[in-house]
């Protein structure tokens, strides 16, 4: 795992000047590759590539980057892992490609591109990656991102310079950087907690979309090509699963096992995140199955029992005999890391589980350089509560007469969220979701709505009509158009596709990538192996959700490896008690960022609207922690990256 930068300049600067710019861009992403660095420069084309290396495979100089192909035609800077590189190497050996200089996957990637061409080569790769490739023969620059958007890649075209890098902070280090905030991106962030790809918080600066090859020619013309289309995978899979009744479960489970097994290849120590939930437990069980020694596992817990799951992770670790470590998170830990969040997440990002994810990565990096996680399990195997809501309730509600729909909404909203939560405490835990009252309110609010409106309501905080933004601008929302093959009876599948397209890469994967790489830790996500994604789209819903039970296939894995342990408790997210902390240990910090002076100086948000929600939250009248955390993360980011520039 590494980080890279580069730019194609329109100026004929000296080599020394361009290398100096490259080094300034590499400096803020040193954490992505603390083991070594390097640059490559072509004077004639005025292109420079830079790389920071975290050595995982082939620890020798044979794996250093930037790396040239055997013919010297191609040069690459690359971030990620291609797990099937040995199989690709064998294909190349079978056609007598030639001798190898080292044993890294980078060399195999270059050879595959040289032999098959970039599109055919990339279609063979199983893994997570982003890279930049310079073709000196055709004077073409290609930048490429993996199918699911696991690894980040940013680009911008400013003052005739094409700039790119693994993190936004690298681009911000380019000379004469234009830091003008895109107000539409800000509005989207306030609504969804992240700035959605391809936008960024800055104007004229973009994220490269997943499964995309962007090509820049010598005349600075840009062309994009999708080499894999998730929407087509979902469409074809959904159409095919209606024509087949049964699937070989053993074949599917073996595919999941293979995805875990191939991610155990490493020349450095390896471990796993273990929350005690279904996703991570299944990963660890399969890791242990494929390992002759105890796997290193790591967990974060909380001093507040309602948020702590270490009792479950300990059970799994003891049953599988892993080498387990854990850390209990206290408010003081959050307070210590919060000032670092704007640096780590270099554009506004407000999933509050970023805090425990960072601390879990820090704990893990003390022992290993690589960790596997269960991220992607909810999106691929249908684990979110909203999928269960849709499967059990929405179709039934939407078939009721309008008067009955409206009456149901009125009944729910006539009782406070806290009262509903108290009421649900009398039910067995396995039947109750966390923050039940809050989620019941959201469920009631979407009765009678179509797929698009249901999804937007369930995943958003601030709305465009909330009088949050100064001025009367009409903001452009995400294009959540429902594909034609998803009708209202496909509500679960529609939500899965939207989550895999937007929420997964922009929130979950961004959170994990920045938190782990800030600690120089590589995190691998076996559930996002594209073979698994494609297979799961071909399966009928009963393999994912059946009679109110989610993740049916993963539970079968656990049944084979963790039979005595029952996974029948309510699902919990990797959340922190942010609502309570904002009224307690984080109150002073929050008030300093929510002051009238700070908000009015930015000239972007409406102070009265924010102050009202803050006062309601402090009084306990309402719980606005999600809305408030969005404001806090933006203001903290603005203070760090804009006010101080």
Token digits of residue 48: 């420079």
Token digits of residue 100: 């190898």
Closest CA to 253 of 293, 220, 213, 285: 285
Helix and strand counts by DSSP (H, E) for the chain: 29, 17
Q: Angle 520-27-639 (CA atoms, 0-180°, nearest 5)?
A: 90
Q: Angle 324-294-522 (CA atoms, 0-180°, nearest 5)?
A: 70
Q: How far is CA 170 from CA 144, 176, 438, in A?
A: 17, 13, 40
Closest CA to 598 of 645, 631, 641: 631
Tell me the three state secondary structure of residue 48.
Answer: strand
Token digits of residue 135: 């073709």
Active site residues: 2
> Does the N-terminal peptide bond of residue 506 adopt cis geometry, omega within 30 degrees of 0?
no
Can you name the residues that pair with 48 across neighbouring β-strands?
7, 41
Other Cβ atoms closer than 10 A to 568: 11
Strand order through the sheet with 67-68: 67-68, 74-82, 127-135, 140-145, 212-216, 222-226
How far from each other are the two terminal CA atoms of the chain, in whole angstroms? 30
Q: At what angle do helices 530-538 and 230-241 cross, to 10 degrees?
A: 40
Contacts of 211 (CB under 8 A, 6+ apart): 145, 146, 147, 148, 149, 226, 227, 228, 229, 230
- How far does Cα 109 stand from its chain's mean position? 24
């Amino acid at each position: 795992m590494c980080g890279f930068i580069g730019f194609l300049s329109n100026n004929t600067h000296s080599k020394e000047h361009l290398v100096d710019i490259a080094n300034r861009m590499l400096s803020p992403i040193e954490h992505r590759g603390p083991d070594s660095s390097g640059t490559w420069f072509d004077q004639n084309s005025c292109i420079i590539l830079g790389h920071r290396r975290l050595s995982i495979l082939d620890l020798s100089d044979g794996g250093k980057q930037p790396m040239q192909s055997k013919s010297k035609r191609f040069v690459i800077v690359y971030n990620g892992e291609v797990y099937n590189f040995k199989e690709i190497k064998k294909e190349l050996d079978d056609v007598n490609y030639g001798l190898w200089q080292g044993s890294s996957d980078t060399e195999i990637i270059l050879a595959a591109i040289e032999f098959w061409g970039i599109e055919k080569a990339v279609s063979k790769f199983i893994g997570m990656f982003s890279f930049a490739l310079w073709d000196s023969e055709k004077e073409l620059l290609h930048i490429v991102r993996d199918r699911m958007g696991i690894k980040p890649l940013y680009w911008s075209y400013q003052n005739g310079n094409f700039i790119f890098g693994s993190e936004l902070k690298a681009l911000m280090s380019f000379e004469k950087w234009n830091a003008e905030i895109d107000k539409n991106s800000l509005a989207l962030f306030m609504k969804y907690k992240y700035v959605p790809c391809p936008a960024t918080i800055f104007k004229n600066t973009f994220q490269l979309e997943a499964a995309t090859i962007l090509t820049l020619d010598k005349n600075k013309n840009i062309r994009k090509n999708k080499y894999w289309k998730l929407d087509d995978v979902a469409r074809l899979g959904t159409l095919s699963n209606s024509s087949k009744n049964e699937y070989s479960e053993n074949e599917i489970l073996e595919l999941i096992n293979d995805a875990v097994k191939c991610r155990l290849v490493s020349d450095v120590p390896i471990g796993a995140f273990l929350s005690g939930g279904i996703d991570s437990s299944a990963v660890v069980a399969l890791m242990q199955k494929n390992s002759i020694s105890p796997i290193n596992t790591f967990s974060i817990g909380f001093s507040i029992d309602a948020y702590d799951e270490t009792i479950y992770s300990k059970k799994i670790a003891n049953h599988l005999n892993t080498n387990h470590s854990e850390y209990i998170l206290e408010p003081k830990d959050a307070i210590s890391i919060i000032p670092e969040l704007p640096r780590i997440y270099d554009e506004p990002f407000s999933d509050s589980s970023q805090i425990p994810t960072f601390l879990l990565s820090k704990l893990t990096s003390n022992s290993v350089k690589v960790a596997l996680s269960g991220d992607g399990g909810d999106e691929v195997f249908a684990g979110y509560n909203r999928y269960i809501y849709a499967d059990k309730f929405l179709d039934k509600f939407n078939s009721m007469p309008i008067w009955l729909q409206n009456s149901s909404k009125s009944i729910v909203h006539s009782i406070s969220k806290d009262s509903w939560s108290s009421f649900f405490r009398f039910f067995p835990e396995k039947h109750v979701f966390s923050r039940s009252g809050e989620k019941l309110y959201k469920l009631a609010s979407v009765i009678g709505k179509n797929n698009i409106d249901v999804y937007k309501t369930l995943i958003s905080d601030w709305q465009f009509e909330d009088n949050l933004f100064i001025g009367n601008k009409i903001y452009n929302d995400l294009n959540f158009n429902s594909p034609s093959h998803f009708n209202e009876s496909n509500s679960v599948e529609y939500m899965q596709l939207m989550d895999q397209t937007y929420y997964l890469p922009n929130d979950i994967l961004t959170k994990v990538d920045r938190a782990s790489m800030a600690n120089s830790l590589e995190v691998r996500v076996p559930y996002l192996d594209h073979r698994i994604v494609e297979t799961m789209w071909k399966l009928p819903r009963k393999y994912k959700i059946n009679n109110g039970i989610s993740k049916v296939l993963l539970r079968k894995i656990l049944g084979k490896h963790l039979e005595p342990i029952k996974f029948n408790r309510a699902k919990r997210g990797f959340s922190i008690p942010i609502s309570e902390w904002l009224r307690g240990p984080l109150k002073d910090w929050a008030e300093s960022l929510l002051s009238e002076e700070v908000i009015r100086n930015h000239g972007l948000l409406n102070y009265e609207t924010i102050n009202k929600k803050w006062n309601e939250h402090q009084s306990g009248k309402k719980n606005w922690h999600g809305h408030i955390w969005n404001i806090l993360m933006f203001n903290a980011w603005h203070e760090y990256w804009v006010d101080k520039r």
